[in-house]
Amino acid sequence: MLLIDCPWCGPRDEVEFSCGGEAHIVRPPEPANLSDAEWGDYVFMRQNRKGVHYERWCHGHGCGRWFNVARDTVSHQVLAVYAMGEAPPEV
Amino acid sequence: MAERRIRHSPLAHLHLAARVVVDPGDAGARMSERPPRAQLAVRGDSGDKAFVAAFKAGLGFSPPLAANTVVTHDGLAVFWLGPSEWLLVGEVPGEQLAAALADRHHALVDVSDSRIAIGLSGPRARDVLAKLCPLDLAAPALAPGRCAGTILARGHMLLHVLAEDSYDIHVHRSFADYAWRMLEDAALEYGVAVIDGGG
């Protein structure tokens, strides 16, 4: 069970949130020029890190806002919470 | 033939009126169905000073801008739901608000029938709620006058802390039966009294 520090509502239980998967995946500017392999990489391929993982979360049962979380996939500790659009912090 | 509309409570089938007692005795939990109130959803950017000023002018008082707070004024409760989202419950100044916000980027939607409120109070009210809700109900974040969008059992609720051990639980009407039954089941061991929900 994670305790996630919502930037608006403060620390709340994981069940109030939904996870939106890995953060900082940028849509290619010209998808038409990509090969199938490159497009497949963008759509499907995700990191599966052991350690610090950057991911998107939505506080759906609370304020309804999206934000980014840096989480350690080994300890499940939430290391940092930061706004959408911000660069990932060093943790 | 003119269409006839009847307001139908989503808890009508529980026949709560027949169970209302005047004296709750030593029941640890008192439950009530709150009367239906007008509700208005307001959207707009709380970072936009002109929007906030227009919102304030439409209400006649300052809307809550701090997270999870409620401002109550003359029979109207304004709930902070998010940094760009509020819920007005009670004596809603709909037309006044629409006029004040006309020149600003905003949304006003009548959601009067979307939610109902269940009153829960009594010496064991917090214990009842603690069984169904992941929040720390004793935390300062849930002092009287605060609200929280959170979870009730497997559903969503908007929790309004009226006083220590007195709560209004706003749930979507399709969850009303579920919410009432879950609360009553949780309260059973402390004793439940159904009381009048007020006018």
Task: Kindly list the structural domains of chain A, giving each domain's residue range(s) and its CATH number in brackets, ordered by start.
Answer: 3-82 (3.30.2270.10)
Strands B192-194 and B29-33 come out as parallel
Q: A61 vs B82: CB contact, 8 Å cut-off?
A: no
The reply to whether A2 touches chain B by the CB within 8 Å rule is: no
CATH class of B15-36+115-194: alpha beta
Instruction: Check residue A43 and give its pLDDT.
Output: 95
B65 class by beta-carbon count within 10 Å (0-12 exposed, 13-18 middle, 19+ buried):
middle
- Reported as type and span, the H/E element at residue B57 is helix B49-59
**pLDDT band at residue B5 under the 50/70/90 scheme:** confident
The reply to whether A12 touches chain B by the CB within 8 Å rule is: yes
Instruction: Check residue B1 and give its pLDDT.
Output: 57
B56 class by beta-carbon count within 10 Å (0-12 exposed, 13-18 middle, 19+ buried):
middle
The reply to whether B147 touches chain A by the CB within 8 Å rule is: no
Measure CB to CB from residue A63 to each of B83, B135, B151 and give the nearest one.
B83
Q: How confident is the model over B10-35, as a mean pLDDT?
A: 95
The reply to whether B45 touches chain A by the CB within 8 Å rule is: no
**pLDDT band at residue B6 under the 50/70/90 scheme:** confident
**Chain B residues whose beta carbon lies within 8 Å of the beta carbon of residue A15:** 134, 151
Q: Select from 2.60.40.420, 3.40.50.720, 3.30.70.1520, 3.40.50.300 the CATH code of B39-110.
A: 3.30.70.1520
**Within chain A, which residues score under 50 in pLDDT?**
none
C-alpha A42/C-alpha B185 separation (Å) is: 49
Q: Is the pLDDT of residue B37 over 90?
A: yes
Tokens of B161: 């802390």
Strands B147-152 and B155-163 come out as antiparallel
Extents of the domains making up chain B: 15-36+115-194, 39-110
